[in-house]
Amino acid sequence: MTTGALSATGPYPPGQRAATWAATALLVVAVGATYSTTLAGLIRQWETDANYSHGFLVVPLALYFAWRRRAAVIDAGIRPMWWGLAGACAAMVLYAAGRASADLFIARLSLPVLVVSAVAFVLGGRAVRVLAFPLAFIVLMVPLPALLFNEIAFPLQQMAAAAGEAALRTGGVPVIRQGNVLELSSVSLDVAQACSGVRSLMTLVAVAAALGELGRLTGPRRLALIAATIPLALLTNAARVALTGLAADRFGPSVVEGLPHTVAGVATFAAAAAALPVIDRLLRPRRSAATVSC
C-alpha cells in the first residue's frame, strides 16, 4: 500500500462513490462560503478589465477538460491522500495572508492551490496527475499582480511603437518616435498600455493552451503553441499601430478614436486568434499514408 493512501485502487465501490460526491458537495459549499468576497471581486475584474475578460471561459473549459478525462480518473482508482489535507491548510494560510495584507493576487492564487489539494485528498495523487492540465489551466483565471503586469506591458509598448514606426517609414509616412509616442504630420499616436498587445497576449495564451488540450498535443508541442502567442501578439499589434498611423495620415486624426479604432483592435486580434489553429495544425504529428497493395 502506498504511503499516505487511505484506500485501495480500483473502480468506485458503491459506498465510496456516494462518499466522494458528498465530500465534493461539502467542498463546493465551503469554498463558496470562504471565497465569496474574493470570487465576487474576481468576477468584477473580469467584467471591467478587458485584459482578463477571458476569465469567464477558464472555469467552464477546465471543467470540460476534466470531464473528458473522467474515464482515466475512474481507472486510476480512488486513493485519498493525507497530504491533500495539508495542502488545503496551506491554501487557507495563503488566503488569510492575502486578505490580511490586501494582496489580491495571493488570496486569489490560494484558490487553485485549494482545488488541487482537495482533488488529492478526495481522489488521490493519481487523479491529480490525470487532471494535471485542467488543474493548471484554472490558474489562468487569476489576474497577474499589477507590478508584474506592468513589467510585461511596458516592453511590449516599446516594441509595438518601434515596429509601428518601421512599418510607417516603409510605407513612406514621415514619423518621429519619442518613446512610445509616434509623431506624424497630422496627429500624435500614443501607443498606450491597452495598445501594447498585452491584452491580446493574455487571451491568446488561454486560447493556445485550450487548443493544445483539444488537439491532444504533447508537452513540447503545447509549449511551442503557447510560445507562438508572443510573436503573434507583437506582430498583429504592430500592424494595428501601423495601419492606424497610415489611416490617420491619409484620412485625418478622426480615425484614431471611436469606432474605427475599436474595429481595428478587434480585426487584429481576430487575425491572431485565426492564426493559432493553423499553428496548432502544423504542430500535430502527421499520420503516415497508408500503404495499399494490389
- 117-170: pLDDT as tens digits: 989 988 899 999 999 999 999 999 999 998 888 888 888 888 888 888 888 888
Q: Quick check: 6 pLDDT over 60?
A: no
CB neighbour burial string for 172-200, b if at least 16 within 10 angstroms, e if fewer? ebebebeebebebeebebebebebbbbbb
Residues 155, 125 share a domain: no
H-run or E-run covering 188? strand 188-190
The mean of the pLDDT values for the chain is 83
Enclosing domain of residue 260 = 147-283
Of 29-33, 78-82, 83-87, 254-258, give the range with the top mean pLDDT.
83-87
The residue among 225 and 78 whose pLDDT is bigger is: 225
CA 129/CA 104 separation, integer angstroms: 28
52 domain-assigned: yes
Domain stop point among 142, 175, 199: 142
Average the pLDDT over 264-276 and give the result.
Answer: 86
Average the pLDDT over 17-30 and give the result.
Answer: 70
Residues 194, 138 share a domain: no
239 domain-assigned: yes
Q: Quick check: 248 pLDDT over 90?
A: no
Of 8-12, 22-26, 74-78, give the range with the top mean pLDDT.
74-78
Residues 130, 151 share a domain: no
Residues 138, 157 share a domain: no
CA 186/CA 245 separation, integer angstroms: 10
Task: Report which DSSP code applies to 148.
Answer: H
Give this prediction's pTM: 0.80
Residues 264, 222 share a domain: yes
Residues 166, 101 share a domain: no
Torsions phi, psi for 196 (to 5 deg): -80, -20
289 domain-assigned: no
Residues 73, 180 share a domain: no
The pLDDT value recorded for residue 8 is: 42
Domain stop point among 127, 142, 157: 142
**CA distances to 44, 206, 293 from 253, in Å:** 34, 34, 67
Residues 39, 122 share a domain: yes
9 domain-assigned: no
Strand, helix or coil at 155? helix
1 domain-assigned: no
Average the pLDDT over 175-193 and give the result.
Answer: 82
Residues 184, 134 share a domain: no
CA 240/CA 249 separation, integer angstroms: 14
The pLDDT value recorded for residue 293 is: 42
The pLDDT value recorded for residue 90 is: 93
Q: How many CA atoms lie within 13 A of 96 on its CB side?
A: 6
The pLDDT value recorded for residue 167 is: 84
The pLDDT value recorded for residue 10 is: 47
260 domain-assigned: yes
The residue among 93 and 179 whose pLDDT is bigger is: 93
114 domain-assigned: yes
Residues 114, 31 share a domain: yes
Per residue in 52-104, pLDDT (tens digit) is 999 999 999 999 999 999 999 989 888 888 888 899 889 999 999 999 998 99
Residues 160, 76 share a domain: no
Domain stop point among 113, 142, 171: 142
CA 120/CA 82 separation, integer angstroms: 8
293 domain-assigned: no
Number of domains in the chain: 2
Per residue in 45-64, pLDDT (tens digit) is 999 988 899 999 999 999 99
Strand, helix or coil at 238? helix
